[in-house]
Structure 1
Amino acid sequence: MASKLAQLRTMTTVVADTGDLDAVRHHRPMDCTTNPTIVLKAISGAGFEDRLAEAIRWGGGQTGSSQTVAAAVADRLAVRVGAALAHEVPGRVSTEVDADLSFDVEKSVSSGRRIIADYDRLGIDRKRILIKLAATWEGIRAAEILQGEGIDCNLTLVFSLAQAIACADAGVFLISPFVGRIMDWHAARTGQTYAPDEDPGVISVRAIYDYYKSNGIKTVVMGASFRNIGEIEALAGCDRLTIAPALLEKLDADTGHLEQRLSADRANRVELIALNEARFRWALNADAMATEKLSEGIRQFANDLHALRQLVHQRLAN
């Protein structure tokens, strides 16, 4: 029998959550996703030395404060990592707007436009790129503006149905609901080990999927942040799943039967919910898990972005 990874490809678009070029070449995903953590890891390892050196040389010719130049070089590196991945996959690559802009609509929009312009200068069409923003109210509003300009967006750090509904209302191309981090939050409080069908993260993504499919919403659901292959198997049939290389390896090594668990024609009917800013903020506030994990995720990405800029600053100073 074919591997579970091969079976998964027949029902779900497989996306690699990595900047590891060798892993991408080996597993042949359709798309790739990146974030500041992945970019930092990529340029710190083998395969990106020339791109790092080029970006540092470019930074040496820029004017402005050391912090401004380091930030510009870090942005350049994120696009260079994304461009390298775009040459390895037939589909799209997600590149993230700086996490420290997660509550600034205007600057997030400007950053998204700049990222697309940088890819364009490298000869990579905007239809190959997803601008990744945190699913704050402000991030969703920025995505709405970018989508109106033909720039497709990936709204990340989705932990609640309220975020998913707001993203759909804004017409975003794709959302990334986080499975493992939801499970982490509940496991830390209950001490419970969850079977896949009882996993709070799996249940959350299924609820979002049902809401979208039963209401004809075109926004793509891409499950993310997996802790084990059981979570992935429980979401087989979801539009897309972005999976780290270690779990892709496990799926590829397993030749058991993989059942399709999600399909649009079997989605449970869910009534449309009207959201405005006040209702969105109240729903998020009422969900302790979503509030805490969204804030924590933004902080983590901001910390890794800071580490990337520090690395660049040190290289520029040498």
Structure 2
Amino acid sequence: MKFFIDTADLDEIREAQSWGILSGVTTNPSLYAKTGGKLADFEDHMVKICEICDGLPVSAESTAETTEAMIEEAEHLASLAPNIVVKLPVCEASLPATHHLAKEGIRVNMTLVFSAPQALLAARAGARYISPFVGRFDDIAEDGLEQLNTVVTAVKNYSYGYWDEEGGPEIITASVRTPNHVTQAALMGADIATVPFGALKKCVHHPLTDQGLERFAADWAKVTGEAK
């Protein structure tokens, strides 16, 4: 499984990149707003993320609402850097936009996917990435992992042609909240998990690992005579 980081925070991206585990970045308007970013700085901010990532895919979301406006904004976003992927929400307007952009070689990450039919339509329209959400189902007391499993199984039953040479469309597990979300997504065969930095750090830690480190440190302190 590939790890993307779900953030627009430059410092978080730099740190995740330094770990050597990063395969891409996903952003959205809410994540950019959390950085305190302004509209005038948005494009420069996306370019900075692309530079940090050194060619890895970076999803920048369009806020347009019509097919024509989505295409126009997507083409502009894609022109900012070669590794920009345009994020579009699944809807009637975005499907023809995705179809048009795929024929131009512009990669689309279709987001806000909550069902297998939505995912299949996205794949058929030409989305390079498809982002089913997990945590938001949990928020309404439904099983997000079960829904993810349905999407993964349905999409991987078929080939779609647009991005076969790149191994696409790839499924990005989104709205990840816990290490268990990552584990279950990997077991299902989801291609990617896009993970907030806080949740990514949780994936590094385990109580037994922490206990083991403390024990090793205490025992070594006895050896060195530094034990208190």
**Given the two structures, how large is their TM-score scaled by the length of structure 2?**
0.79
In the other structure, the counterpart of 2:70 is 108
CA spacing shift, 1:146–1:178, aligned 2, 3 Å: same
Return the offset for 1:183.
1.8
Q: Which runs of 5+ in 1 are unaligned?
A: 1-11, 45-51, 53-73, 188-198, 258-318
How far apart in 2 are the matches of 1:256 and 1:16? 25
CA spacing shift, 1:24–1:105, aligned 2, 3 Å: same
In the other structure, the counterpart of 2:132 is 177
In the other structure, the counterpart of 2:170 is 220
In the other structure, the counterpart of 2:86 is 131
In the other structure, the counterpart of 2:29 is 36
In the other structure, the counterpart of 1:210 is 153
- Pair 1:145 & 2:100 matched: yes
In the other structure, the counterpart of 1:96 is 61
Return the offset for 1:214.
2.4
Question: Please, which of 179, 183, 194 is the counterpart of residue 233 of structure 1?
Answer: 183
How far apart in 2 are the matches of 1:166 and 1:32? 24
How far apart in 1 are the matches of 2:174 and 2:9? 17
Amino acid at match of 1:114: H
The percent of aligned pairs where both chains have the same amino acid is 28
Question: Please, which of 149, 153, 163 is the counterpart of residue 118 of structure 2?
Answer: 163
Instruction: Indicate the SS of the match to 1:95.
Output: strand
Amino acid at match of 1:106: E
Instruction: Indicate the SS of the match to 1:133.
Output: strand
**Given the two structures, how large is their TM-score scaled by the length of structure 1?**
0.58
Contact 1:116 1:129 in 2 (8 A): yes
How far apart in 2 are the matches of 1:156 and 1:78? 20
Return the offset for 1:227.
2.4
Which one has a larger percent strand, Structure 1 or Structure 2? 2
Q: Which runs of 5+ in 2 are unaligned?
A: 161-167, 210-228
How far apart in 2 are the matches of 1:152 and 1:109? 12
Q: Give deviations 1:196-235, integer Å, cap 9, x for gaps.
A: xxx6211111111111222235311001002222112111
CA spacing shift, 1:256–1:136, aligned 2, 3 Å: farther
Contact 2:77 2:84 in 1 (8 A): no
Could you say what the CA RMSD is over the residues aligned between the two structures, in angstroms?
1.9
The answer to which structure, 1 or 2, has the higher relative contact order (CA under 8 A, 6+ apart) is: 1
1:194-273 equivalence runs, <5 A:
200-217=143-160, 218-236=168-186, 237-254=189-206
Which one has a larger percent helix, Structure 1 or Structure 2? 1
Contact 2:62 2:70 in 1 (8 A): yes
Contact 1:79 1:95 in 2 (8 A): no
How far apart in 2 are the matches of 1:81 and 1:256? 39
Contact 2:177 2:195 in 1 (8 A): no
How far apart in 2 are the matches of 1:43 and 1:150? 32
Return the offset for 1:255.
8.2
How far apart in 2 are the matches of 1:229 and 1:206? 16
Return the offset for 1:256.
7.5
CA spacing shift, 1:256–1:107, aligned 2, 3 Å: farther
